[in-house]
Amino acid sequence: MRLTETPLAGAFIVELEAHADERGFFARSYCRDEFLAHGVAARFDQCSISYNALRGTLRGLHWQADPHGEEKLVRCTAGAIFDVIVDLRPGSPTHRRWFGLELDAENRKALYIPKDFAHGFLSLRDASEVFYMISAVYEPAAARGLRWNDPMLGITWPLAPAVISARDAGFAFLDAAPAAPAADR
C-alpha cells in the first residue's frame, strides 16, 4: 500500500500495491503500521456503506463536531464517485481549501480524511457504492453540514447534481451561522 499526501495537510490518497498471480491479486487496503509511519494514528470503530442508485447523486458536505470528530478512510467499491474534502481546521495552512479526487472500482484508490474536514461526493455512475471506515461511532447531535456549492470554496464538480437531499441542499454557507445537524449521511 502506498500513501501519498494530498495538497491538504494530513489527508492522504491510499493506493493498493497488488500482488498478482493466476488467481487474481491480493493487496492490503489498510495497515495500522503504514498509517502510523505517515503520522496517522486512526483507529476505526465503525464501517458504513453508501449506495447511490443514480449518477449525479450528491452527498455532503458532512463532518462531526468535537468531541465526536471522525477520521475516515473512504473507498468506492462499485461505480465511481468524485470525492471532495474541505479543511475546516482553523490553524491549518490549508484552512478552507478543498481537494477532489475520482475514486472508482477500477482504480481502487481510497482517501484518508482527518478530523475536522468536511466530506462529500458526487456519484459519476449509476449504482455507485462507497465503503467508509470511520474512527468514531456516529453521533447525530454532533453532525454538521456545509453547502456543496459554497462560492467561497469554489468546488469544481465534474457534473451538476441530479439528486440531493433537502437537508444537504439547505446547509449554510461557510461564513453563515453554524451549520444545521446532518441527520442523513
Strand stretches in 31-179, DSSP E: 46-52, 57-64, 72-78, 80-87, 98-104, 110-113, 117-123, 128-134, 143-145, 163-164
pLDDT for the residue 181:
47
In a domain, 147, yes or no: no
Asked if the structure places residue 43 within a domain, the reply is yes
Residue 80 domain-assigned?
yes
- Give the pLDDT band of residue 177 (cuts 50, 70, 90): very low
Residue 138 annotated as catalytic: no
- Which position among 38, 51, 132, 138 bears the catalytic label? 132
Q: Has 68 been annotated as catalytic?
A: no
User: How does pLDDT run across 32-63, given as a tens digit for each residue?
Assistant: 999 999 999 889 999 999 999 999 999 999 99
Looking up residue 51, the CATH number of its domain turns out to be 2.60.120.10
The catalytic residue among 30, 51, 62, 138 is: 62
pTM over 0.75: yes
Res. 185 pLDDT band, cuts 50 70 90: low
Has residue 183 been placed in a domain? no
Provide the mean pLDDT of the chain.
93
Residue 181 falls within a domain, yes or no?
A: no
Q: How many folded domains does the chain comprise?
A: 1
On whether residue 175 sits in a domain, the answer given is no
Structural domain for 112, as ranges: 2-55+66-140
